[in-house]
Chains A and B, each alone.
Chain A
Amino acid sequence: MIRKALLASVTFAFSATTSLAATNITWWHGMAGRNGEVINEVAQKFNESQSACVLTPVSKGTYEEALASGIAAFRSGEQPNILQVFDAGAATIINAKGAIIPAEDLITKAGYGFDRGAFIDGVRYFYADSDGKFVGMPFNSSAPIMYINDEALKKAGVEAPKTWEEFEAIAPKLKDAGYIPLIQSQLTWQFTENFFSRNNIQFATNNNGYDSVVDTKLKVTDPKLQMMFEKLKAWKDEGYFAFYGAGWADNQKVFEEGKAAFWIGSSGSFGGLQKTATMPFSATFLPYWGSIEGAGTNSFIGGAALFAMSGKSDEENKCVADFFQFLTSPEIQYFYHKSTGYVAITKAAHELAEEDGYYREKPVAVVGIKQLLLPAGEWSKGYRLGFYPQIREIMEREYGRIFAGETTVKDALETIEREGNELLARFAKTAG
């Protein structure tokens, strides 16, 4: 027994020393389920492709938890090399200039060329600074799209709508056919942030917050947003829309079970949905309002980006650059795109998928990219707002109250604007 243990420790010591020769880098992320497994596969592919670096991905729970862990670790000097930060946390990390090395600088310093034009337009600005320099490396990029229960449409004898007006017209038929016409999974991302971008309406002052943190104010009391939520409330009362709370999965589940006709999900839901959906499904763009002038613009990029954290040795930074370079190669992008449903972020990867016939085989997979590639409008590029995770919490609370009948849409939006503006003012003080 003792001899065995001794042998084991000796072999362990040897294996540890052999891997010491390579540079170890860590990657903290907030993905679970199938998407988490794919991250491990990507890391494994990177480790097999070269011998100088060993990349270890670590799941830190949800997006919010990953960001919180990253911040806490940075404060105690234990930060990972790469941190995945979600869209709502972009302002937090991009404003923390000393905590991160802009991805573009890291890559060029490692001796690689960096071509901003190689990325598809929809992903180029959200994680970049005002000069267009990439601060974060777009990683899992998604768009909110509408999934369609094909059986429901066939049974009701209707076509998928392009606009909300068209949806209103067919909703009674879907209801009569025994389906919940519409469900969604995230009112903040799908019906607020992307409502502004899909309908080309200003979300916040200071160029949606991109220009400055000082005096940035929300514009969520916009009458058009109020109209959207009043419609949702009316649809819910008539049985055309169902709401199962702020949790993503509680809502998605109803669609997977084939009880709903349309579900607003993420293009990144595709990978999982292929396994869980109990009926044939397809997808189309997130609807917009035909009555709003200039609507129908592209949606901005959702999902998350990878940030290289500062305070690391040159060798480790070189490894991070190698990995970013590896990650943007068309083959890996295509692999990731195929395995998860997240959008391929480079034009080359998109073309590779096209040539390979992937989109003919799985037309749902191209919907997200096509929506990102729609013509852009003045206000379709997203937002950069501080303390935004908390602002989203206020929205979730107030939206929940609307559907529980505890408040009116007008009051709810006024509360969001007031409390949200207080948070933005607070953020301006911390960042200043």
Chain B
Amino acid sequence: MAAETEGLSASRGGAGFGGHRLGALRLFGGKAKRGETSAKRVQFTSRFLPYLFLAPQLAIIFIFFYWPSVQAIQSSFYLEDPFGFGSTFVGLSNYTDVLKSGEYRGIARFTAIFTALVTFFALSIGLLLAVKADGVIRGNAAYKTLLIWVYAIAPPVAGLIGMMFFDQHIGPIVEIARWFGWDIKVGLDFGDTAFAMTVVSVWKQIPYNFIFFLSGLQGIPVSVREAAAIDCRSGLRRFWTIILPLLAPTAFFLLIINITYALFDTFGVIDVMVKDKAANNPITLVYKVYMDGFRGNDLGGSSAQSVILMVIVFVLTIFQFRFIERRVHYN
């Protein structure tokens, strides 16, 4: 989330040089422009003024992110009655209980597979569409708008629409699958529900990736493309050797965003799909936190799970920045 806001504020500064409409969304504008911005650096009259401007943002991060995190860590060491009358310190037993549970490990396994699938398909389909849209000359605005507008749909609504497609009684996708002899039973069969969840989650995320990839593609200078076209006739090879490396910063950013999306933001889709009754359907770790904490009123156990999630995300982010980002060239 933080990266997104950062991106938007960065785009405001760079809106002038984009040259094309979607250029405003460009994230990694390139270091060439940095010199320009530093030349125009605003001099504050007071040393404290910049901090004053930063204060609202810092306050929001502190109140809505750090403070709850600290509370979650704290209550993960306690067993607490739901109404908050008393709590007992239990040390690490909330963690050991969770990690010993075979059920929890099963959910973790599903979450990992689900995240990998959603990230892979959302990124690759988004990229494919962006490359194709980039090539369209006539009527490209209508084409792009049609691809982008899905992003404006809220996750629960996307879940609802997806659910209707996969409805046991009236779903059109279920009807089509039946012709091929596949009886899709969302809500009954683990694999079928997992399939439906993945499809809806990918579908929901494609436009987002599309927007960024498209603006990334349009940010590649025409001169580079022309030079490449002179050197190499194969469009596919040009894509792999020239376009894709130049898209790497965008792709890296999207990779992080998509993993976070699959881990957390698919909550709405899952909630609508399992209709409030998870039963034997697949769920992700964050849904399990919700079920135990908000439905089951087990605050200690639920907090321990959310701390585990926090650690996973932390490790993942460090890994990405240390090992993947090294191979990304921003210029």
**Which A residues lie at the B interface, using CB under 8 A?**
62, 64-65, 67-68, 71, 74-75, 92, 95-96, 98-99, 243-247, 250, 253-254, 387, 389-390, 393, 396-401, 403-404, 406, 419, 422-423, 426, 429-431
Which of B80, B281, B294 is A400 in contact with, Cβ under 8 Å?
A: B281
Taking the complex as formed, is B82 at the interface, i.e. its CB lies under 8 A from any CB of chain A? yes
How near does chain B come to A242, taking the closest CB pair, in angstroms? Answer: 11
Residues of A within 8 A of B188 (CB): 243-245, 400, 403-404
A74-B83, A98-B83 known; A390+B278 contact, CB < 8 A: no
How near does chain A come to B149, taking the closest CB pair, in angstroms? Answer: 29
How near does chain B come to A427, taking the closest CB pair, in angstroms? Answer: 9
Which of B83, B90, B279, B291 is A245 in contact with, Cβ under 8 Å?
A: B279
Residues of B within 8 A of A422 (CB): 97
Taking the complex as formed, is B172 at the interface, i.e. its CB lies under 8 A from any CB of chain A? no
A64-B276, A96-B82 known; A253+B169 contact, CB < 8 A: yes
Query: Which residue among A65, A67, A250 has the maximum number of chain B CB atoms within 10 Å of its CB?
Result: A250
- Number of B residues near A (Cβ < 8 Å) is 33
Give 28 A-B contacts (CB < 8 Å), ordered by A residue: A64-B276, A92-B82, A92-B297, A99-B83, A244-B168, A244-B187, A245-B188, A245-B277, A250-B168, A250-B169, A253-B169, A387-B297, A387-B298, A390-B292, A397-B280, A399-B279, A400-B279, A400-B280, A400-B281, A404-B189, A406-B190, A423-B298, A426-B298, A426-B301, A429-B79, A429-B88, A429-B90, A430-B82
Residues of A within 8 A of B169 (CB): 250, 253-254
Taking the complex as formed, is B85 at the interface, i.e. its CB lies under 8 A from any CB of chain A? yes
Taking the complex as formed, is B275 at the interface, i.e. its CB lies under 8 A from any CB of chain A? yes
Interface of B is mostly: loop
Residues of B within 8 A of A393 (CB): 278-279, 291, 295-296
A68-B297, A71-B82, A406-B190 known; A62+B276 contact, CB < 8 A: yes
Docked-complex contact B103 and A430, CB < 8 angstroms: no
Given contacts A245-B279, A254-B169, A404-B280, 18 further A-B contacts (CB under 8 A): A68-B297, A75-B84, A96-B85, A98-B83, A98-B85, A99-B85, A244-B168, A246-B278, A247-B275, A389-B297, A390-B296, A393-B279, A399-B279, A400-B279, A406-B280, A426-B298, A430-B79, A430-B82
Closest to A98 in B: B85
Closest to A394 in B: B103
Docked-complex contact B79 and A71, CB < 8 angstroms: no
Closest to B277 in A: A246
**A99 and B82 alpha carbons, distance in the complex (Å):** 10
How near does chain A come to B223, taking the closest CB pair, in angstroms? Answer: 56
Docked-complex contact B187 and A247, CB < 8 angstroms: yes
Interface string of B181-194 (1 = CB under 8 A from A): 00000011110000
Residues of B within 8 A of A96 (CB): 81-83, 85
Docked-complex contact B80 and A430, CB < 8 angstroms: yes
Docked-complex contact B277 and A396, CB < 8 angstroms: yes
Which residues 167-181 in B have Cβ within 8 Å of A in the complex? Answer: 168-169
Residues of A within 8 A of B97 (CB): 422, 426
Which of A71, A397, A399 is B83 in contact with, Cβ under 8 Å?
A: A71
Docked-complex contact B295 and A396, CB < 8 angstroms: no
**A92 and B297 alpha carbons, distance in the complex (Å):** 9
**A254 and B84 alpha carbons, distance in the complex (Å):** 43
Docked-complex contact A398 and B79, CB < 8 angstroms: no
Closest to A395 in B: B279
How near does chain B come to A78, taking the closest CB pair, in angstroms? Answer: 13
Which of A245, A389, A404 is B296 in contact with, Cβ under 8 Å?
A: A389
How near does chain A come to B41, taking the closest CB pair, in angstroms? Answer: 45
Query: Which residue among B80, B83, B276, B294 has the maximum number of chain A CB atoms within 10 Å of its CB?
Result: B83
Residues of B within 8 A of A245 (CB): 168, 187-188, 277, 279
**A393 and B280 alpha carbons, distance in the complex (Å):** 9
Ordered nearest first, which 7 A-B pairs have the shortest CB separation? A400-B280, A245-B187, A390-B296, A246-B277, A246-B279, A396-B279, A400-B279
Residues of A within 8 A of B297 (CB): 67-68, 71, 92, 387, 389
Docked-complex contact B79 and A68, CB < 8 angstroms: no
**A244 and B296 alpha carbons, distance in the complex (Å):** 24
How near does chain A come to B195, taking the closest CB pair, in angstroms? Answer: 14
**A429 and B81 alpha carbons, distance in the complex (Å):** 9
